[in-house]
Structure 1
Amino acid sequence: MDMITSMVSDKPAVIFSKSSCCMSHSIKSLIRSIGANPTVYELDQVANGKQIERALLQIGCQPSVPAVFIGQQFIGGSKTIINLHLRNELAPLLK
């Protein structure tokens, strides 16, 4: 968890993603369409991606990607983000 904490610290929005994951792509597009500019970590393109993925699974992100952090807090995966958006609660979190 310390590794994840250091990766999200001082960043308003972070998405852990895989470049081949369609849900990751959708969540990145959704968050960018709201006007946010998230930091994105593509786990299949970073050296310690498998280690990061294991850490995400340990904190309860099932599946491991996409995993969204806003304000250094773990918000959730694609279902949670889409539900927040549908309830008009995602944009206020990002602002």
Structure 2
Amino acid sequence: MDRINDLAKTKAAVIFTKSSCCMCHSIETLFYELGASPAVYELDRDPRGRDMERALQQLGFNPTVPAVFIDGKYVGSAKDMDKVARVASENGVVIFGKSACCLCYTVNILFRELGVTPIIYEIDQDPEGREMEKAIMKLGCAPPTPAVFIGGKFMGSTNEIMSLHLRGALIPMLKPYQGFN
């Protein structure tokens, strides 16, 4: 377990994987698409990989991979991010929000005024909403709503979107999605 703890602290983002695991590959790709450069430790290619896998099992990881650590703390696995990533990647502009959130409404109105009809995904209306909220917070979105994705990439919350707009960088990003639902 000491090795897991030591390796989990080598970088801001650390992923324990196996080379043949498609979920591991998906999580790794997601991090790269979000602009992160995680440390990736493939247990099946590490001479001490079996011991590390046993340590992950003892820590309660089932399945053992992928196991994602941020700043040395376990934050989840692929199943935690799967629904958020799927919804974000299948649609051009997505706002994860809550039905009574005024900031979510404000960002939605901004996009509509710019000619884009975003997909509004109200996580408080989804039975898996709490897990989705945790996954969004793990991306660095605090508070977790609104969480805006453009072209499958996490762009941030209200402050980041407004900053992009004020700098003139938002409209070019939205160009491919203007006029589409």
3-state DSSP of counterpart to 2:60: coil
Q: What's the C-alpha RMSD, in Å, of the aligned pairs?
A: 1.8
Matched, 1:66 2:66: yes
Choose the corresponding residue for 1:92, options 120, 136, 140: 140
Q: Greater Rg, structure 1 or structure 2?
A: 2
Aligned match of 1:35: 35
* 4+ runs deviating over 4 angstroms: 83-87
**Aligned equivalents of 1:28, 1:10: Cα separation in 2:** 16
**TM-score, normalised on structure 1?**
0.87
3-state DSSP of counterpart to 1:40: strand
Aligned match of 2:169: none
Give the aligned length.
Answer: 93
Deviation at 1:83, TM superposition (A): 5.2
Identity %: 45
Aligned match of 1:78: 78
User: Residue 19 of structure 1 contacts residue 44 of structure 1 at CA under 8 Å; is this kept in 2?
Assistant: yes
**TM-score, normalised on structure 2?**
0.48
3-state DSSP of counterpart to 2:30: helix
Runs of 5+ unmatched residues, structure 2: 86-131, 142-181
User: Residue 75 of structure 1 contacts residue 81 of structure 1 at CA under 8 Å; is this kept in 2?
Assistant: no
Runs of 5+ unmatched residues, structure 1: none
3-state DSSP of counterpart to 1:74: strand
Deviation at 1:3, TM superposition (A): 1.5
Matched, 1:45 2:93: no
**Aligned equivalents of 1:60, 1:81: Cα separation in 2:** 19
Letter aligned with residue 17 of structure 1 = T
